[in-house]
Amino acid sequence: MSNFLKQYVQYQKPQINMLVALSLPLTGAVYNFGWRSALYVLFSMFCCWLAEYLFTRRENKPASAAALVTGALLALISPPNVPFWMVGVGAFFCIIFGKMVFGGFGKNIFNPAMVGRCFLYISFPAALAASWYVPFQGGAAGFAAYAPVTRTADVDSSMYNIDAVTSATTLTSIKRLNQVRRDALGAQNQIEADRALQAFEKIDLGRLFVGNINGCIGETSAILLLLALAWLLYQKVLFVPLLIGPLVGLFVAKLILHLLGLDTLPLINSYMVNVFGGGTLFASIFMVTEPISAPINNTARWIYSILIGFLAAIIRSLSAFNAGFMFAILLGNTFGPLIEIAVTNWEKSRKAST
């Protein structure tokens, strides 16, 4: 890095590795939603850098490279066609109230990108949750275009004819299908229950894996996210418990919901759709594994990450919100220090008793 850049951005190799990994879902975002996605991510990165630099320059220090990662994450977990000004507001909010208010880099309790995303989600629900755009299809797709203009159908008109591109988001559709099937079974309406099940069985897991579907711009392609995961594992910047725990917690919650009759769709298929059809992989790879807001103790990491996955499934299934991992991660951040203190004290008492 040149001396000029060092004045403005602190070199942090783990953060640079994270940016390299994030370039993969960004490539998928451009393919699906056009070059606007790349500009959107760059603008978010700039706003996060600027927000932090306005604080650090008073101490003659550069902003951390982590600010660039936060900006990239915030943009990639947003839907396409969210206004630039909106992501700018979210970027300044997440750096100021999710990071600098705690003292800056390394001192934040909450994941800053999640703080910004939650603020935008609550403040502008129509833009963040109610409006989705059809991704480009075939050929050069989004590499030859700026941004999509066609909106997807609403959930009620599309859930019986699920198409991962033109319908509402997959998670929204299966959540509604589960509700319809549960109500139909309760009313002993087998025809309606079977209709909902048949619609669910139309979901193509292969298409979800490739990721040419609607959704947040960086979360759609499972294959690109897994390639990014391979890179981060190679660079040894991820902690395995934080990576695997959310998937375990998600399955445990889905199993409990299934046994209680609250989730009436086939367990394994429903679990797989939840993993590949929403932000589960992105959250598990890039968000839960964020080391600053996560526990240090290995046992505490398992409990913390499993709790996040468990809460995400519960929120997705039983609340009005589909952004289960967003709220679950913030809840995990809240209780993470308490989990670590409890685990550490328990381990100390066990050693003392032996």
CA distances from 73 to 66, 237, 285, 313 (A): 10, 16, 11, 21
What whole-number distance in Å separates Cα of residue 243 and Cα of residue 284?
5
**Which among 145-149, 165-169, 275-279, 336-340 has the top mean pLDDT?**
336-340
Residue 206 pLDDT: 83
What whole-number distance in Å separates Cα of residue 8 and Cα of residue 257?
50
Q: What SS3 state is found at 213?
A: coil
Query: How far apart are the two ends of the chain, measured CA to CA in Å?
Result: 52
Query: pLDDT category, 95, cuts 50, 70, 90?
Result: very high
pLDDT in tens, 104-129: 888 889 999 999 999 999 999 888 87
CA nearest neighbour of 79 among 17, 168, 18: 168
**CB distance 173 to 159 below 8 Å:** yes
Name the average pLDDT for the chain. 88
Query: pLDDT category, 176, cuts 50, 70, 90?
Result: confident
pLDDT in tens, 280-297: 999 999 999 998 999 999
DSSP state of 133: B
Question: In DSSP terms, which residues pair with 151 in a beta bridge?
Answer: 133
Residue 34 pLDDT: 93
| Percent share of the chain, pLDDT over 90 | 54
Question: In DSSP terms, which residues pair with 63 in a beta bridge?
Answer: 9
| Range of lowest pLDDT (182-186, 199-203, 312-316) | 199-203
How many other CB atoms are there within 10 angstroms of residue 320's CB atom? 7
**Beta strands in 201-294, from DSSP E residues, in sequence order:** none
Instruction: Report the sign of the C-alpha dihedral through residues 171, 115, 79, 277, in that order.
Output: negative
- Interhelix angle 65-76/112-123, rounded to 10 degrees, is 40
Radius of gyration of the chain (CA): 21
What whole-number distance in Å separates Cα of residue 16 and Cα of residue 65?
7
Helices H / strands E in the chain, number of each: 17, 2
Instruction: Output the six-digit token pair for 101.
Output: 């208010």
Residue 306 pLDDT: 97
| Domain range list for the chain | 3-129, 153-213, 238-354
Instruction: Output the six-digit token pair for 24.
Output: 């993969």
